[in-house]
Amino acid sequence: MAGSNAQRAADTPVLEVSRYSLSYATPSGPIHALKNIDLRVAHGQTHGLVGESGSGKSSLAWAILRYLPENAIENDGRLLLSGESLRDRTLPQILEIRGRRISMVFQDPSTSLNPAMRLGEQLSEVLIRHRGLTVQEALEESEAALARTGIAKPRDMLRRYPHEASGGEKQRVVIATAFACNPELIVFDEPTTALDIITAQQILELFNQLQDETSISALYISHDLGLVSRVADVVSVINSGEIVESGPSAEVFRTPGNDYTKALLGAVPNPKQWLGVTEPPSEAPALMSAEGITVEYGRQSLLGQLLAPKPTHLGAQEVSIEVRKGELVGLVGESGSGKSTMGKVLSGLQDFDGNVRFGDRNFARLAEIDRTYRRAVQIVFQHPDASLNPRQRVREILSRPLKLYDIVPREQRAERIAELLEQVRLPQEFANRLPHQLSGGEKQRVAIARAFAAEPELVICDEITASLDVSVQASVAELLVSLQRQTGTACLFITHDLNLVRQLAHRICVMQHGKLMDAFHRDDAEGPDRNPYTRALLKAVPPPASQAA
């Protein structure tokens, strides 16, 4: 490229979106997904686009890649890639641009890679198609590309199928593919959301390292403010299809100008800000103690063992956890650590070896768990969409525990349901609604109300905030604490979010590979005797930039 051209290229933004609006035509009228969007990604810049679910951030990514459904209606706004309009390209031209000049990294590497193709084929395909390399050259180049993403044995990895690689390795392959043709722009759509905390941290470091090496321009889409503050130079906050604030990342995070941005930043869990209830005195008796719980998955019958023996897998191994009256204990771990297995054991859904002591009673296996125990220990699940029966109205859902445990006489049930709804801060009219007429946060409130309807002594919360937006997460956590304050119920809070749990829990237990690795009081979280794994977890989730000071 000649000097003057290069100069011009550096001045023209790599991506320029101006006055762009997008809506979707539906039988019940148009839905406005994007309203008058203005956004520029300068050469070598990482532009963070932050928004909650439904904010339109993914619609923008699809519009840039020119991959819109048939019912999409666009206005006459502009989408420019290095000064050239993307909107008047024909499909064959767009196909040349995708992968060559703009590439994309998706959220979940396990669905964005073709399970029937070796990783090497998928990576080299892009090089053959867009850079015209021969198969041999492409494979060599792929190996080099993988090596740059920090994969230890790249040649070996190229021969594997996606199911033979871990989530982190797969995402490295996807990122290597995106960087392979040295595109002008890479769109990252929540690239770490589907990964474990520590893996996500490594991918983030990889991104920053590749960004430094190649000075590629990136549009980094995420719901996670803390994360964006660590990668983006410039950030735009999008809310219901409108960009409400935009500016240099440090500035936006330190001195947000817009109310929505402020609310969003305020909702990010800050481990230094205590939200939980007063800690019960240390001599308070144990309410529930699980002693040496072991869960073996895939256990076979005698006949099965003879015919086709399969290895079993330990979901939990000799795990002991204690919860005192009125206490909130955090149980933290990555996916597959066994934390949900413990939740299932304690809520009577999973058979186990070991002993669960509740009050002065002992339970040595699933069959011994009776209704008295089940009433005293209630569970709230992760997915608000799946935890309520779609065919039952809120009234029926809430009246069930009242009826089952005979908590109030029949004629007082309606009144009690109204009280329960009020306790979880929902209007009384919601009793008539069906679950699909509620938002995610509202559904989760109903699920919490159902658990508290039984007037339990212990509530197990299994990732209850993981499927919710940041701002909703905060209000659900706060609701839980206020219910705890009113009722004195103890709580086992299972989560992967360390920052959140440090705001709520008196004591924290850490699990990995089915084993209890660490258990400590919240004051000792940063103490010197923490397990190395705990320290790695804590290091992987620093608080967002605005709170670091």
Q: According to CB under 8 A, which residues from 281 to 320 bind another protein?
A: 301
The span from the CA of 156 to the CA of 309, in Å, is 30
User: Which lies closer to another protein via its Cβ, residue 237 or residue 369?
Assistant: 369
**Which span sits near another protein by CB under 8 A: 145-153, 238-246, 347-355, 516-524?**
347-355
User: Which lies closer to another protein via its Cβ, residue 383 or residue 413?
Assistant: 383
Burial tier of 91 (Cβ tally within 10 Å: 0-12, 13-18, 19+): exposed
Helices then strands, counting H and E runs in the chain, come out as 22, 21
Contacts of 300 (CB under 8 A, 6+ apart): 309, 310, 312
> What amino acid is encoded at 468 in this protein?
L
The span from the CA of 337 to the CA of 196, in Å, is 11
Task: Return the closest-CA partner of residue 312 out of 294, 301, 328, 300.
Answer: 300
User: Which lies closer to another protein via its Cβ, residue 262 or residue 393?
Assistant: 393
Applying CB under 8 A, does 383 fall inside the site for another protein? yes
Applying CB under 8 A, does 389 fall inside the site for another protein? yes
How far apart are CB 296 and another protein at their closest, in Å? Answer: 16
How far apart are CB 370 and another protein at their closest, in Å? Answer: 8
How far apart are CB 94 and another protein at their closest, in Å? Answer: 34
The span from the CA of 139 to the CA of 76, in Å, is 43
How far apart are CB 342 and another protein at their closest, in Å? Answer: 14
Contact criterion met (CB below 8 Å) for 337 and 350: no
Applying CB under 8 A, does 399 fall inside the site for another protein? no
Residue holding tokens 């979106």?
A: 17
Q: According to CB under 8 A, which residues from 200 to 259 bind another protein?
A: none
Applying CB under 8 A, does 480 fall inside the site for another protein? no
**Which span sits near another protein by CB under 8 A: 43-51, 81-89, 133-141, 399-407?**
399-407
Q: At what angle do helices 470-487 and 440-453 cross, to 10 degrees?
A: 20
Q: How many binding residues for another protein (CB under 8 A)?
A: 29
User: Which of 35, 400, 416, 535 is close enough to bind another protein by CB under 8 A?
Assistant: 400
Site string for another protein, 448-467 (x = CB under 8 A): --x---x-------------
**Which span sits near another protein by CB under 8 A: 52-60, 196-204, 376-384, 526-534?**
376-384
Applying CB under 8 A, does 388 fall inside the site for another protein? yes
Burial tier of 115 (Cβ tally within 10 Å: 0-12, 13-18, 19+): exposed
Residue holding tokens 């205590």?
A: 274
User: Which lies closer to another protein via its Cβ, residue 90 or residue 301?
Assistant: 301
User: Which of 2, 391, 411, 549 is close enough to bind another protein by CB under 8 A?
Assistant: 391
**Which span sits near another protein by CB under 8 A: 262-270, 307-315, 381-389, 468-476?**
381-389
How far apart are CB 27 and another protein at their closest, in Å? Answer: 10
How far apart are CB 287 and another protein at their closest, in Å? Answer: 18
Residue holding tokens 């198969």?
A: 135
Residue holding tokens 């956890």?
A: 321
- DSSP letters spanning 58-99: HHHHHHHTT---TTEEE-S-EEEETTEESTT--HHHHHHHBT
User: Which lies closer to another protein via its Cβ, residue 151 or residue 388?
Assistant: 388
Applying CB under 8 A, does 368 fall inside the site for another protein? no
How far apart are CB 459 and another protein at their closest, in Å? Answer: 11
Three-state SS for 226-294 is: HHHHHHCCEEEEEECCEEEEEEEHHHHHHCCCCHHHHHHHHHCCCCCCCCCCCCCCCCCCEEEEEEEEE
Contact criterion met (CB below 8 Å) for 409 and 416: no
How far apart are CB 374 and another protein at their closest, in Å? Answer: 4
Phi, psi of 158 (to 5 degrees): -60, -30
**Which span sits near another protein by CB under 8 A: 99-107, 202-210, 262-270, 388-396?**
388-396
Contact residues: another protein, CB under 8 A? 301, 347-349, 370-371, 374-375, 378-379, 381-383, 386-392, 400-401, 404, 434, 436-437, 447, 450, 454
